[in-house]
Structure 1
Amino acid sequence: MFKQASAAVGHITNVASAYTWLSGGSALTSFLAAYNWWESNPRLSTFLLVLGIEAALIFIYALTFVPRPGTCWPPFWVGYLNPLRQVSWRFGCVLQVDKLPSVRTPIVYEFCCGLRANRGAIKPKRFYLEARGVPNVPVKIQCGPTFESAENIEEIPSGTWFLCSARLLRDYRAPDDGKTNHPTSEEFFQNYDELTLVFEYDEKIFKKRFRRATLLKIVQFGSERFAAPAPKQPKLKAAE
């Protein structure tokens, strides 16, 4: 029963992702019609009111949680860009997907995001990813041409975006050779499942949990590049 309900909700949200405008328009139309016919036909108005509420809920859910076309992250993540925060975050396709050399097998090789201090310099202390079944994964911050751990940085100035990166390995007991020691999408969800970003700075701690369902959408988004057919090219004339 629960699985059937979950599948139904998933189907509704998939529809809403393609027709967000339709659900919003339906809600508005139903509310206006219910208001206009409330005295003449209260039974029909009640039905339209319920229909409008359902359409409004689908619209709100789609507007908040369903990725827009060409993206792979929920729209509400834009709230982390709020400049009123002491530290703003830029989250998008946080998992980078590539293919193994000479083998078209998608791998998940990196977690990346961006941060910006908005009010005064901050002093980072620790920065890492928590994941199930593996040790904490260190997240490094871009410092000019290199990436450095938070423990090696004295302070981060305000007003500038800095890229943050964590290398994701299949086996953390083996070195990162940049070629083979990265998990496939299946191995990633076996070893990591969910991720929690933890950033300790000054006397504060920022935590952001990335749920499995969201990470799965991001990995699928990156993997589709390798499944897509090659773009068509102009056909040259045959040599005479």
Structure 2
Amino acid sequence: MGQHNISSVAHLIAEPVRSVMLITLADGRAMSASALAEAAGVTAQTASSHLAKLLDGGLLSVESKGRHRYYRLAGAHVSHVLESLASIGPVTPAWRNTPSRPAQALRFARCCYDHLAGQIGVAVTQSMLTRGFIVEAGERQYALTAPGCEWLQQLGIDMGDPAFDQADHARQCLDWTERQYHVAGPLGARLMDAFLAWGWMRRSPTTRSVTVTAPGWEGLKEHFGIAREACEAD
């Protein structure tokens, strides 16, 4: 990759309005230009200009539905770059101890493109490692073990999915608030889908935060050994 391409992409991401738009889209959902303008605190005209640059730069894709256009990240690779950039530098005590409830919610559990992140995402990953369901497998990769495949099948996750045959089926994603890895890739996405389908978790309609439900806490305790009291005391 040439230096020019790196500098061009870095310039696109570095602009404050565009960075807010990109982070807002980092849970994988598509949003309208007006919603992104509101999130970034700019006018519709200003938002349109920034969105055009992000499209030209290959960071966003757009789809039309009737008269409306909806924008989303161009792929998981863009979300990965955003999370990696956010993980550079220390997490300050001000962030970890912030009284802001939205910030606390994001740190506790959130969507990182298509998989679970935050304290709960890291706790799920650590539990799977401790129980031998995944193992470290090279640089920035996990791998499912035979017991892990059997366990997931017992939970009702389709292990015939060809995505699990990919070398990067369980990528390590550095969590920018916890400074530890959580599981990403197809395995992370399938787990997130399952947590939502089972009613264990609910996505916020307006932010990237995720709420763990009462049945979810029961499931996390039973299958991962994750206790609500320990998580909320952290």
Q: Tell me which protein shows more helix as a share of its residues.
A: 2
Q: Tell me which protein shows more strand as a share of its residues.
A: 1
On whether the aligned pair clears a TM of 0.5, the verdict is no
* TM-score, normalised with respect to structure 1: 0.29
* TM-score, normalised with respect to structure 2: 0.29
